[in-house]
Chains A and B, each alone.
Chain A
Amino acid sequence: MSVSIVSNQQRKKIHPHKFTMWVAIGSIVMMFAGLTSAFIVKSNQVNWKTVALPKVFWISTAVIIASSITVQMALRSFKNREMNQYRLLIGLTLVLGAAFVVLQWMGFNELWAQQITFKGSGAGQFLYVIFGLHAMHVIGGVVALIVMFIKAYAGKTKLYSSVPVEVVATYWHFVDALWIYLLVFFLVIGG
């Protein structure tokens, strides 16, 4: 079986799967750009209500930044073939990612208790939609991490290629950066 999809006649460039991930990131950016520009348009209208971010969102920020560090360390230990450390770090990232989603949910509950619901109009409704969609992207990343985690334990064949790990790590840094953008956006424009 000498023939593979990426022929060795082709030039050595960025791996197609990594490249695909970058284009996908561009596409997700466009969706959030659409939503945040809708926010800006609406915030100039009458009866706009601002929202104060609960403190719990700061904790979730710390958690997702920490998870970005662990996923980067996981990638490095994979490349160094330190598989036990890799498994540990991937597991840790997974737990931090799940914790982030739970913290977001707590933040939503806190806001809801302050009578910021789906009724009326203002930053609150956008917050639920935008943060909610971001959380769904994090959940997607968590699912990918679970797959990596299982593969690291149950894989029959030994994994040598770091491409899948790199793709997941890139995505994970992206949802982290996206969160920081959204947080700053809500602090500066939504506050």
Chain B
Amino acid sequence: MSEVTNMHSGAMAGHAVHHEDHHGHHKETFVSKYIFSMDHKTIAKQFLVTGIIWAIIGGLFSVLFRLQLGYPDQSFPILETMFGHWAAGGQIKPEFYYALITMHGTVLVFFVLTAGLSGTFANLLIPLQIGARDMASPFLNMLSYWFFFMASVVMLSSIFIQTGPASGGWTMYPPLSALRQAGDGSKLGSDLWLVGMALFIISQLLAGLNYISTILNMRTKGMSMTRMPLTVWALFFTAVLGVLSFPVLLSGAILLLFDRNIGTSFFLSDIVINGEILPNEGGSAILYQHLFWFLGHPEVYIILLPAMGMVSEILSVNSRKPIFGYMAMLGSLFAICILAFLVWAHHMFVTGLNPFLGSVFVLLTLLIAVPSAIKVFNWLTTLWRGNIRFTPATLFAIGFVSLFISGGLTGIFVGNSTIDIHLHDTMFVVAHFHIVMGVASFFGMFAGVYHWFPKMFGRYLNSTLGYMHFWVTMIGSYLIFWPMHYQGLAGIPRRYLDKSGWTSFNGFPELDKMITIVSIIVFAVQLMFVFNFFYSIFKGRKVTTKNPWGANTLEWTTPIRPGHGNWEGEIPEVHRWAYDYGKDGREFIPQDEPIGENESKH
């Protein structure tokens, strides 16, 4: 591969590095530097800021429907002022409620915890930690963000149309989502949802291709696969999962678009709606569920793995100890990646699935407990007798481990097809996946933001606000989701907007009020974090050393505010793994330091 072959893709990096020396004429304009940027670090920030905006929107939706769940009989005139006919008389209408839960799920699962989380940290960390000047294809990388942006515009626009956004649940099961007659949310809103998701999938595929080929092909000299930090490994498996599972959702979405708009019957059969007999026959709604969950389950790990990787790195750096069981960590990431594709039908135990097939999926599902337990064990043993620095990032990483344990244990309940008959579609499931996947991944993301903010912006986040953010969010999350387990065990279904009419379900009105109040407080604290984030970009305490955390990985060998191309001179060569902490009497030994003569082996 000659230099010439790479000129077109390398020109940007070449310029940036070239100009560092001259401090003279800069060809980079505002547009090429901040908007249509091909620098992976800028694209990471774009993903992060877009993700934050989406998180505020998605979080606000949850506050609104919690208001309905906690106070179903009261009216809040401000809601009518804000949402007009959706909240006539200050009470959330049923259609609005379903639109809120649908968009809450869609926004947080896809736009925040997929694009906002792996989009941010894969872009930021992969080139910096493996020692590359940029992604394999900076152009595809830029395209990936702008497809995400277009997806965001389409999805956001559905909130402002007359009939409102999609309201068939974030899974968009047909026939509800396929028939316009089924409700307001099944009209234009559902088409916009499908188009938005198609654009989103393209964005994720472009991103995933880049992540994989960057990690496999662009590592610096000496950076063998087993010397890579666990963050990069986790992001690698995330990308593999995305590239193999998102296309299947795309095929489901295309078939659903045909059923909605062209009159095919892929998912529709023998339906009578409002007294009208529909001509569709021969379709299967269960088929959609298979296509959806073949993505849907790996998606859970697409959300969780980046958080796992960052937590491993942050815990090791901040307990000043090597990560415990590096190879076991790798092996368990790999096992999770494989098992992720083999468990999708555990979302469908009550659809009439063959019980024998169900028992196979139970076995495969419960097998995930093994790699998960290995990872938990390794995180705890990394912390064990460490010299722990309790930075906000460390606290959030420890919080992640706590939530992952609590939420993972309830997975053993819902993963059993017999117990699932009782628990399916109850608040227990809501509690389970929010703790293990939603909140836990958010904690991983917060840990990552607090830890790598100095690398992103050359300044620190305010730690006092960070500690407040952590403790309120940590206690609040358990207060919100722990009681939901009891509600679920008592049989309270999810998706009901007012339980007061059912004697079997209306036993917890005060508990629901408490959950609502805590959610409002937790949401307010997240806004405080957002304030901290934007304030610190401009006014935060400045970073004065290249390596503020005393970490070994390569991103801390770059200048405090690296330009496009990351390193001013040659890319450093790697001589050791990323976890030489507390070795031979030294606190830490960076990866680019050659092995000394009398150095002990690890």
Contacts and interface: CB of A to CB of B under 8 A. Distances in A.
Interface in B1-52: 1-7, 9-11, 13-15, 17-18
Contact of A15 (B5, B10, B221): B5
Contact of B263 (A8, A31, A119): A119
Interface residues of A, number: 49
A95 B133 CA distance: 39
B281 A6 contact: no
B251 interface: yes
B2 A5 contact: no
Contacts of A170: none
Given A27-B247, A38-B266, A122 B221 contact: no
A66 B137 CA distance: 31
A42 interface: yes
A10 interface: yes
Main SS class of interface, B: helix
B359 interface: no
B574 to A, nearest CB: 10
A115 interface: no
Contacts of B13: 3-5
B251 to A, nearest CB: 4
B250 A31 contact: yes
Contacts of A122: 282
A56 to B, nearest CB: 23
B258 A129 contact: yes
A137 B556 CA distance: 42
Contacts of A4: 3, 6-7, 9-10, 13-14, 133
Interface string B242-282: 01111110111011001000111110010000000001111
Contact of A3 (B133, B137, B138, B291): B133
Contacts of A12: 1
A20 B136 contact: yes
A8 B266 CA distance: 52
A9 B133 CA distance: 12
A9 to B, nearest CB: 5
A24 B284 CA distance: 30
Given A15-B5, A38-B287, A30 B14 contact: no
Interface stretch (B206-214, B301-309, B420-428): B206-214
B599 interface: no
A3 B140 contact: no
Interface stretch (B145-153, B485-493, B565-573): B565-573
Contacts of A129: 254-255, 258, 264
B213 A121 contact: no
Given A23-B209, A42-B284, A118-B262, A5 B10 contact: yes
Interface string A28-62: 10111111001001100111100000000000000
Contacts of A17: 9, 136-137, 213
Given A16-B217, A120-B281, A129-B255, A3 B287 contact: no
A142 B205 CA distance: 21
A16 B282 contact: no
B247 A9 contact: no
B403 to A, nearest CB: 31
A143 to B, nearest CB: 15
16 contacts: A1-B7, A3-B14, A5-B218, A8-B3, A20-B212, A23-B243, A32-B251, A33-B248, A34-B251, A38-B255, A42-B266, A42-B282, A118-B264, A120-B282, A121-B280, A129-B264
